[in-house]
């Protein structure tokens, strides 16, 4: 079974999630869900464009990284994680393998020429 990732705004950020982790009814306002960054967030009605909400929040950089890793983006198209944030090493098992979010880039940004 393929992993199907989607985006949903909740708690002032746009997060990604694996649809396989939800019931068949999908997301609704007030329904908590697990994000790729391992947070549990709860969207409100204002977080759904189909219910009149607007998507104005920034994308969660941890979910963005997990999505890009899962999709097989080239390394130069995966931005580094912010210096401060939630602990990484997130693992999300699937039938096709795992989505793992880690920041293994130890490069000093000042070394870029």
Identify the CA nearest to 15 among candidates 73, 84, 90. Answer: 90
Domain segments of the chain as ranges:
5-103
The CATH class for the domain spanning 5-103 reads: mainly beta
pTM over 0.85? The answer is no
Tens digits of pLDDT across the chain (113 residues)? 566 899 999 999 999 999 988 877 789 999 999 999 999 999 999 999 888 888 889 999 999 999 999 999 999 999 888 876 554 444 333 333 344 444 443 334 344 44
Residue 83 in contact with residue 103, Cβ under 8 Å?
A: no
């Amino acid at each position: 079974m393929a992993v199907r990732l989607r985006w949903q705004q909740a708690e002032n950020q746009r997060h990604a999630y694996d649809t396989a982790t939800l019931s068949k009814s999908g997301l609704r306002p007030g329904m908590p869900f697990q994000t790729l960054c391992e947070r549990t967030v709860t969207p409100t009605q204002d977080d759904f464009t189909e219910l009149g909400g607007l998507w104005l929040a920034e994308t969660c950089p941890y979910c963005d990284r997990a999505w890009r890793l899962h999709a097989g983006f080239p390394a130069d198209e995966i931005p580094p994680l912010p210096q401060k944030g939630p602990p990484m090493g997130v693992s999300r098992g699937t039938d096709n393998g795992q989505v793992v979010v880690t920041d293994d880039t130890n490069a000093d940004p000042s070394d870029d020429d």
